[in-house]
Every structure is written in structure tokens, then in C-alpha cells.
Amino acid sequence: METYLKKQDINCLVEAIREAEHSTSGEIRIHIDTNKEGNPAERAWEVFQILEMHKTKERNAVLFHINFELKYLTIIGDEGIHHKVKQEFWDRLYDKTTALFAKGIYTKALENAVREAGIELKRHFPTYENKINELSDDVTFS
């Protein structure tokens, strides 16, 4: 994992998530997976469920699921945000992120992706008084 992201990179990603979520009720998670068995897309949906991202009040959670070893990125937007931004948004975000991944610019790629997701979440799901952070901002690993 150190090949792709170092400890300080993880800290930067957590801060990017916090900043992106500051103005929205939406939730963003990054999960780094090292599992080499099975279908990575199916694994991403499994992680989405394990992290209980489908249980947010407005169904507006976004998961960036990365398996660096398999060179695989899955971006999952729950039904609330997906309904608002449509598939084209996810496709563009995926293309931008993987283009930077191909150049070895992993941290910046993920920071940019988190910020873009945060902008869309803010546009469709602005923050409100007494907002509760429904999901941890920590980067998770398996």
C-alpha cells in the first residue's frame, strides 16, 4: 500500500473528505481494498453495504473503492445522489481520476475526485442546522 499512498497521503484524503462534507449533508468514503479474489465491482458493492453507506438519511453517500493491485476503481453514488447527477457525472469523474492514476498521481486524483463529489453533493444536498456526520471520514482498508 505504501507504494501508492503513504500515511501523510491518507491524512490529506481524510482532510479532503472533511472539507468536502462541510457544506453538504452528503457523505463520502474512500476504501482501499487489497482483495485479489472475485469480481472487484461486486466487492465494491459489498464494501458499500459493510460500511452501511446505504443507511444515510438522504441516501446521498459516495464511495470511492480502489484496488491498486488490480488497477480497479469503482465509484458508487447511492440512489439519492445518483438520481440527481446521473451516470454521466460518475463517468466523467471516473475518467479524470483514472487518468491521474495512470500517471501515478494517486493522492491528487483522489483529492480532486472527493472535492468534485463534494461540490455536487453541496449543490443537491446542502448542509442544514445540527447536521450529523453519519459516516466516519476515515479511509478504510481491507
Give φ, ψ of 27 to 5 degrees: -125, 140
Identify whether 2 is part of a domain: no
Identify whether 124 is part of a domain: yes
Identify whether 89 is part of a domain: yes
Range of the domain at 92: 7-141
* Confidence tier at 81 by pLDDT (50, 70, 90): very high
Percent residues over pLDDT 70 in the chain: 99
d(CA 121, CA 117): 6
- What's the pTM value of the predicted model, to 2 decimals? 0.96
Identify whether 26 is part of a domain: yes
Identify whether 90 is part of a domain: yes
Number of domains comprising the chain: 1
Task: Tell me if residue 65 falls in helix, strand or coil.
Answer: strand
| Chain-centre distance for alpha carbon 92 | 14
Burial class (CB in 10 A: 0-12, 13-18, 19+), 38: exposed
Whether 75 and 40 have beta carbons less than 8 Å apart is answered as no
- Alpha-carbon distances of 24 from 18, 35, 84, 87, 140, rounded to whole Å: 10, 32, 14, 20, 21
Per-residue pLDDT at 1 exceeds 90? no
Per-residue pLDDT at 113 exceeds 90? yes
Identify whether 78 is part of a domain: yes
d(CA 65, CA 80): 19
H/E run at residue 32: strand 27-32
pLDDT, average across residues 111-120:
98
Identify whether 30 is part of a domain: yes
Looking at every residue in the chain, the average pLDDT score rounds to 96
Identify whether 1 is part of a domain: no
Which CATH number characterizes residue 83's domain? 3.10.310.50
